[in-house]
Amino acid sequence: MLDSAIMSYMNAQRESASLWFATHYEWRHESEHTIMGKHMDLELQIFHKPGFIRYDIPREDQLEESVLAVLFSMDPVTLALTN
């Protein structure tokens, strides 16, 4: 169910004039990233490519890719984790 929602998001971006569009996604069990040094149970990474070329900036100085990461935990959120 969640995979189909992600695919719908990615397809909608391709059809619009987005500045960035999603190219693919990856799930990671035990997160690659941490919050205050603690790995989360699951991490979703959505990879994006620019949908434009800036001609006023040299190509080698432009971003090639951007990644949005969302971390999930089965543990309740506590102040210790959010502070």
List, for residues 41-54, the tens digit of each pLDDT value.
999 999 998 877 77
Q: How far are the Cα atoms of 1, 17, 20, 56, 76 from residue 72, in angstroms, in the given order?
A: 16, 30, 24, 39, 11
Q: What is the mean pLDDT of the chain?
A: 81
Query: What pTM value is reported for the model?
Result: 0.66
Residues 5-20 have a mean pLDDT of: 66
Domains of the chain, residue spans: 2-82
Residue predicted with more confidence, 36 or 78 = 36
Q: What is the mean pLDDT of residues 68-83?
A: 77
